[in-house]
Amino acid sequence: MKIVIVGIQGAGKSTQGNLLSEKVNVPYLSTGHIFRQIATEKTPLGRKVKEIMTAGFLQPDDLTVQVVESYLDRPEYEKGYIIDGFPRTLEQVEIFKNNVDKVIYLDISDNEALNRLQFQGDGSRPDSSTEAIKKRIELFHEVTEPVIDYYRKKGLLLDIDGERSIEEIHKDILEKLGK
């Protein structure tokens, strides 16, 4: 099963992705974690990725697709995967030809996202400043909402109310996936 999880920063994609991975027995992959790892590397790519993250911008589409596809080519993703943070733009959707089965949209308000991220943020991530968070929320509405609409029109989107308990959200996801 190939599942994409989308939602605004702080919606709980990582939490639900990890829970779902255990339940459906396919690996979980977070593009955010991948890029945060790359940002710690003392390489030209690492410095570029960190600079983009610190400013609160999204990584370039071509770089993102290249990185994700290189991961998904690995043997552990042969039987399926759960991925979050990708695709974030319509261009990424068009480039990414991986026959996604379902897209889970964890829907939370901007205020809820800000509250969660400011409460959890310890400043250790390059994209955790209030300014970067606000920029990421703005970018989500601008570039990722069209992706959600695209998958909704394709009949692949599962709308999930992300402002409930972790357990309630997980149960709702499993029910909508028929698990």
State pLDDT tens for residues 105-157. 999 999 999 888 876 655 555 556 777 778 888 889 999 999 999 999 999 99
Low-confidence spans in the chain with pLDDT less than 70: 119-128
* CA dist., res. 170 & res. 78, Å (int): 24
Distance CA 98, CA 30 (A): 16
Write down the domain spans for the chain: 2-177
In this predicted structure, what is the pLDDT of residue 85? 83
pLDDT at 128: 62
Assigned CATH class of 2-177: alpha beta
The per-residue pLDDT for 134 is 83
pLDDT value at residue 123: 53
Which residues share a beta bridge with 104? 5, 158
Q: What are the backbone angles phi and psi of residue 10, rounded to the nearest 5°?
A: 95, 0
Tokens linked to 89? 């733009």
Question: Tokens 């909508």, residue?
Answer: 176
